Amino acid sequence: MKDRKSDKAFASRLIRWQKAHGRHDLPWQQGRAADPYRVWLSEIMLQQTQVATVIPYYRRFLGRFPDLASLASAPAQEVMALWSGLGYYARARNLQRAAQEVVARHGGRFPRRLEDIAALPGIGRSTAAAIAVFAFGARAAILDGNVKRVLTRVFGIAGFPGEKAVEQRLWALAEALLPEGDPIAYTQGLMDLGATLCTRSRPRCDDCPLAAQCLARREDRVAELPTPRARRAVPQRAVSVLVLLNRGSVLLERRPPSGIWGGLLSLPELPPGKTPRRYADARPLAVVRHAFTHFRLDIAPLLLKVGRRETAIEGIWLSLKRLEQAPLPAPIRKILMGLI
């Protein structure tokens, strides 16, 4: 950026707007400087997840694990159970791994240096910067989805932001726009603007503090920016799962630690193409469709009530009354809740 006057105007307008109209009552905004643990937890939960969805999970998680030490020493399955339904489960596994690294390598104190924060599991460049800003008042640039949308529109940057060249240009711009002071209000302002006004659809341009310098608005390109990813056919997959019931309990099996739903409890999957003879009397339930990032999955449940507990499948019998506390993927929970 060569026009420093324009850069300063961008930052000052954003800071003034945030202080007057931004979000100030989010749970993790309280006592930021005193507790980087809460800032870190919120930033991980907010990755690819909306604020309204995160808030109840954040409160429940913090109620059980009020500090970094309690998270580091907790049973992994308890961590996964509290994350159940929030999605992107690698975040929960990395969260606990990071807590354990902080205990082992940093004496239990969350690191202040940006490089040390970024080196922790599950924390990329933008998330590390956000933590450093909100927890320690550091001067660092962020570039999450909301910020990319604001910058591409205000400065008229075409090209899919996920492409390396476009992303590098956006990072350079984000660095150049950083003000000398008030990094917390500025960074929060970027997030708030993208989340409340400069939204993906139906943006409220008339209320935007940056409307006067927004190239996308001036050139009637708001709907075009950011440039979407080139359309690709979404793969469709299907799987049949067995719902074995015995006296109010259901048979579940533990997923492998990595991969889809890693470490969670799920219903046993049946071999593709046919149902084993001993389950021939199973009754089909409604198919549940679940969208992942890169594909859609149709889950076809087969219900069978048995007089004794199945021994052919290695697993865990769980009472249907304990579903709320179990670490279950959202679509599996939906299937089982329909049985109650």
Active site residues: 43
Q: How far apart are CA 90 and CA 83, in angstroms?
A: 10
Q: How far apart are CA 239 and CA 220, in angstroms?
A: 45
Strands (DSSP E) found in 174-295: 236-246, 249-254, 265-266, 283-284, 288-291
**Residue that the structure tokens 């048995």 belong to:** 306
Cβ atoms within 10 Å of 34's Cβ, excluding its own: 9
Dist CA 180 CA 170 (whole Å): 19
Which candidate, 195, 198, 155, places its Cα nearest to that of 176? 155
Neighbours of 141 (CB within 10 A): 23
Give the whole-angstrom CA distance, residue 318 versus residue 311: 14
